[in-house]
Structures are given as structure tokens and as C-alpha cells.
Amino acid sequence: MKNKILYLFASLSILVLASCSQKFLEEMKPYNQYGEEQVFSNETLAGWYIDRVYNYYFVAYNSPLKQLVGSYNDNRSRMTEEIAGTVVNFIDPTKTLQLPTDADGYYGTTNSSVNNNPYTRLRFTNEILTKMDQPETANLSATFRQRAKGQMYFLRALQYFDLVRVYGGVPIVLTVQNSSTTDESIQLPRATSSESFAQIVKDLDSAAALLPMQWENPAVNYGRLTAAGALAMKSRVLLTAASPLFNKDWDNSGSEKWQVALQAGLDAETKLTAGGYGLYGSTAKEWARMTYAQTGTFNKEAIMVFLFSNTQVSSAGYNNGWENAVRLPDYGGNGGIAPPKEMLDLFPLANGERPVNGVNYVDTFFFENREPRFYRTFAFSGLKWGMSSDANKNTWFYRWKASADATTATSYGNNQTNSPAVVYKMSNPAAASGTYAFSNTSIFEYRYAELLLNIAECYAAKGDVQNTISYLSKIRARVGIPSANNYGIGNLADKYKAIEACLYERRIELAYEGKRFWDVQRWMLYDNVSNSGNSVSKLGLQPINGTSRNGYYWQSKTFSEPKVDPIPAAEKDILIDPDAENFNTEIAKLKALYQSRFVMTPLDQAWDRVNGTPVSILFRPHYYLSGLAAAPLSNNPWLKQNIGWLDYSGGQGTFDYQQ
């Protein structure tokens, strides 16, 4: 008799057949036409089954801004300073979210649902872990069973980690359970956050012991989870557990949580380095190319990598959504991602020092004298941003009006944005218009650089400033920032300055890679609430609450009819290539053009608006972790609600996620 899990799996396969992930998932195999005994006694069939589990976890992961395994949306990226214009619920000052119906729905409904939700995915991983120790899998090689279990331990850890980051402690289910309204043995309470982190780490340790550091035959297996990924993920998990969100004792330099997180990071660094991992390249040019230069083959920086189809082979291709999102209309793209002014002003100067407007920096000429990563993260007027049909293509960001009292304006190339730049990081200059979904660019979900930043932060929290500087310097040296004054970092006065320096470097190095929200969340940077231990003020920061994301236009000083470009083509004969010898000359030409032809002009209306009214960000203290939604509370009445949220009956929540 077939197990119920196979029927459930077959039902879900209908929902996701239109997409798949890496080479090992490019053809969804019909495992569900076989009986349970056949599937789990044959390596080919069992392999197909395992590959389908990957599909349920990562099928929607087509942009680095998207987060949360399984559901993948970019809401959290839109709650930070990186992207303006979308005032999602948790930063909307016009709303006070407290009811279960207001809570994040990521938890799902019940563990018997055929929907692709967290506890369904956990059921799949538990099923395979159980099967690999049963007699019916005796025909499978020891290596196959070992690696099957390793992948499932890793996937289970990823799912629980995201559940904890959204809700705090959750019920820990480690076996296959059948849904029942009367079986009290499956009515598991919420584990504490500490207990949840302990289980996640245990699973990652198991995965690291069972998986290879690199898989053989990368043409088929590249992108599978590895021991290297498990070791690095352990660092990320323990860093989160040590941060103020979950650690009331974070300000204690001797806190055991910081020491454990540091040791996990150092252990991962040692073993990954021995396994051939490290920072990719030694120049900013190579830094920019890493996500597409070695697609499909081992890349030493990619600890967890997700590949996309490079050709349209069938309707089942796993397609890149990022390339089309960042490309402008005059590239045949979807319009671009415009960075707020705050992001343009954030990046260091060429010598690594931080920009201070009016002191060492003039925001009007934001493109002048910036560090190398700036020119590989943002595209602005005149900057070389190629495509397959034109390797030297650039574009322009400006607008003009027909008269001083005109109420509308015309934008060059229909590239109307609220910023004089767009994001072009992780874009392949060989991508072809019309086929951006197959640009052959990967998502590096976890890079070696992040591991080094994790280690730096742990040293900082422990008060070891010199080691903090040493690890931050590795990040900056790789892209060519001069070594003077500790690569521009300077001499950090104390551990608080050191922690803040780590968070700053993460904003630069990992910009637009889907990491910023989690840093803001775990350090509780929206406000300076008491349960954070006043982390914002101690780090010398200003709360994000009360701020907004701002932009401006480059506007022509000369009036012109809509169809008549006021800027002569000859004056725009500028091609700014950060890898070319004439780079500074072309930058100077752009500056001169701006001075003669343009003026910085405020937006016609505020970028952050709700129902047309300008707003500032307001993220309330109980939003750091969402309450449980109505569905799980209704179906599982024994579950406690988070403090700050109302339970299903309207009572105050009592679950303390900081335990």
C-alpha cells in the first residue's frame, strides 16, 4: 500500500510543475506512478523524490530580494532603506496590527494540508529521514542513504530557522504525524526560541557530518546542499541567536551565545578554506562578475547557490526574475529598481571613509570619488551597462519640462525613476533583451564574504576590536580599497563602534541580496525599545522609525517640447567604465555636464505614501516577530500567542520569544 505522503506529494507536484531548480531538477520525474516500496528501494526513484523536495523549498526563489523558504516574497526587503515606494503592512503608520488576522500567514494551516507550507515541507523531510533507516531502503548504498539524510537535515534546519525568525519558538515536529483532532500526542506546544535554535543547530551538525564539502559531477549536482553550507549556516543561526532580538544578555561581552557563535564561524572558516572555499577574485571587477562568471561550475565564494536556466528548454525551466526586474525600459526590461537617496549616499568614498555631505562629499555629484563596489552596485547616467546586442550600452536618467509652469515632465528613454540611478548589481552584461529569464546569473544565497562578516561581528560583540578590523579589512582589500587607515575603517573606539562598523559593512557588501531586513530585525533597529537593551542608542544609530525613503530627479535647466531632447547627443558622448583607464576622465565629463545642464529637483510627490499621503516608517515593537495567524490558532488552540498580539479569543498573548 502506498504511504499517504506519496499521495500528498503527487498532489503538490501539480501545483509546481511549471518551474524547477538546478540541473538535478530540470526534469520533474514521475516518481508518483510507483509504489512506496519501489520508490524507496531504488536510488533513481528515491533521488527523484528527494529532488522534488528541493523544488518545494526553492521553486519560487527567483530574486535575491525574496525571502522565506517555500513562499519567497520580497516584502521584508521592502521594509528597509534599500527600496522605497511600497509601504507594506509592518511599516505602515496608519495601521496597528495586533489581531491574528493581521499576522504573517507564513506558518500555514495544518500539517495535513496539500498546500506547500512549512509543516508540509517538514513532513516531507521527516518522511525521508525515517525511510532511510527502514529495511525497505536496504538496497540503497550507504553513501546514498547518508547523503539523503544529510540533505533532509539541512532542509529541515532551514525551514525551522525561517519559522523562528518569523515567529520565535514553534512546535518541533521530528517524525511523520497523521492529522487528528483527538490524538493528544501530536498536540505539541511551542518550543522556546532557545530550544528551537538548539534543534536547528543539531540538524545542521548532522547535515555537516553526512554531506560532502563539494558534490561530485557538478554538471548534475552543483547547487545541492553541502557540508560547507551547513557549517556556514550554523554560523548564521547562532549569530541570530546571540543578537538582541533573542538574547537579552547581548551587551555582555562574555555572553556564552557570542562565544558559541564565534566558534561556529571560525570552525566554518577553517573547514571551508580547507575545502577550497574563499573570497572569489581579488578585484572589484571580479567581485561584480562572481554571480555569472562561473555559472554551473564550482565557485569558491558560493556557499549556497541557486542556479537558473540559461536557455528556454521547456515550460519547466527555473527562470531568473532578477535580470528583468533591474533592466530599464530602454533595455527591454521591467523598469529597474531605483535606490533611495539614502542608499546612494551610504557607500564609502574611494579611500574607504564614510561620506559626510558638505564635509568630504557632495551629494549632487554622488557618482564622484566612490569606492569600487558603488560602481558595480548602481548604474547612473553614462555608466557602461552592456547587453548582448550592445556591450557598450549606457543609459541616462534625466527629465525635462516644456515650460516652467508645466505639470508634467518627459523622461529620457522612458526611464522614469525617482532616483538618478538604478540597481544593476548581479546583472549579466551578456544578457539578451526578451530572454532575461535565461541570463545565466545565479543567486548566491550565502557567500563566503558573509561568513567573514559574521565572524567580525562576533569579535566586535566580544570587545575584540582588532580582530573585528582584521576581518572587515579582508572584505575591503578584495575589492581594491586602499589599505591606509585600516582600509578607511579607522580605529574603532570600542565594541559598540565595532559592531556598528560590521552592520555598516554588511549594508555595502550584501546590498540588495536580501539580508538587510534580518540584520535590522535581529538588532531591533527600527526603534530603541527597552527589550532590545537600547541597542540603537548604544550603537550610535538613529532609529529607522520616523524616517522615509527619498529620491530626486536630474532635471534639465532648459525647457523643451516632450519629443525634443534638450541635451545634445554630442554632449552625452560619455561612457563611464570603472575598469577602463579613462574612468576618472569620463566621471569628470559627467560632472561638467551636470553643472551645465541639470539641477537636482525634488520629487513631484513623496516616494513613501499611503493612499496618496506622505508617511514615515513606523514599525511597532511587537512586529519584530509576528504573532501566529488565525488559521493555526484556530486549528491548534493549545498554541500560545506572542506577547503583544491577541490570541484567537481576543486575549493578550503570553508567549515570550526571548526565552
Q: Kind and range of the H or E element at 631?
A: helix 630-635
Which amino acid, residue 243? S
Stretch 600-612: mean pLDDT: 95
Q: Which of 135, 463, 64, 527 is nearest to 302 (CA)?
A: 64
Residue 443 DSSP one-character state:
E
Stretch 110-116: mean pLDDT: 62
Residue 595 DSSP SS3: helix
State the pLDDT confidence band at 386, using cuts at 50, 70 and 90. Answer: very high
- Give burial (CB, 10 Å; 0-12/13-18/19+) of 356: exposed
Residue 473 DSSP SS3: helix
* Confidence check: pLDDT of 7 > 90: no
Stretch 520-524: mean pLDDT: 97
How far is residue 378's CA from residue 382's CA, in Å, rounded to a whole number?
12
pLDDT tens, residue by residue, 322-332: 999 999 999 99
* Confidence check: pLDDT of 375 > 70: yes
Q: SS3 breakdown of the chain: % helix, strand, coil, rounded to 5?
A: 40, 10, 50
* Confidence check: pLDDT of 2 > 50: no
Stretch 144-167: mean pLDDT: 98
Residue 435 contacts residue 312 (beta carbons within 8 Å): yes
How far is residue 491's CA from residue 484's CA, in Å, rounded to a whole number?
11
State the pLDDT confidence band at 238, using cuts at 50, 70 and 90. Answer: very high
Q: Which of 56-65, 172-181, 218-227, 574-583 has the lowest mean pLDDT?
A: 172-181
Residue 624 contacts residue 244 (beta carbons within 8 Å): no
Q: For position 620, what pLDDT does the model report? A: 95
Q: For position 21, what pLDDT does the model report? A: 38
How far is residue 538's CA from residue 547's CA, in Å, rounded to a whole number?
19
* Confidence check: pLDDT of 13 > 50: no
Residue 19 contacts residue 26 (beta carbons within 8 Å): no
How far is residue 105's CA from residue 108's CA, in Å, rounded to a whole number?
6
pTM, whole model, 2 decimals?
Answer: 0.93
* Confidence check: pLDDT of 111 > 90: no
How far is residue 431's CA from residue 116's CA, in Å, rounded to a whole number?
32
Stretch 242-268: mean pLDDT: 97
Q: For position 15, what pLDDT does the model report? A: 30
Q: Where are the domains of the chain?
A: 323-439+552-602
Residue 590 contacts residue 382 (beta carbons within 8 Å): yes
pLDDT averaged over every residue in the chain: 91
Q: Which of 103-112, 238-247, 292-301 has the highest mean pLDDT?
A: 238-247
Is the model more confident about 530 or about 398? Answer: 398
Residue 329 contacts residue 414 (beta carbons within 8 Å): yes
Q: Which of 165, 223, 149 is nearest to 197 (CA)?
A: 165
pLDDT tens, residue by residue, 475-502: 999 999 999 999 999 999 999 999 999 9
Stretch 541-559: mean pLDDT: 97
| Cell triple for 198 | 538548539
Q: Which of 61-70, 184-193, 359-368 has the lowest mean pLDDT?
A: 184-193
* Confidence check: pLDDT of 608 > 80: yes
Stretch 518-532: mean pLDDT: 90
Stretch 99-108: mean pLDDT: 94
Residue 514 DSSP SS3: coil
Is the model more confident about 36 or about 337? Answer: 337
Q: Which of 27-41, 107-121, 205-219, 595-609 has the lowest mean pLDDT?
A: 27-41
Q: For position 308, what pLDDT does the model report? A: 82
Q: What percent of the chain has pLDDT over 90?
A: 81
Q: For position 35, what pLDDT does the model report? A: 64
Q: For position 200, what pLDDT does the model report? A: 98
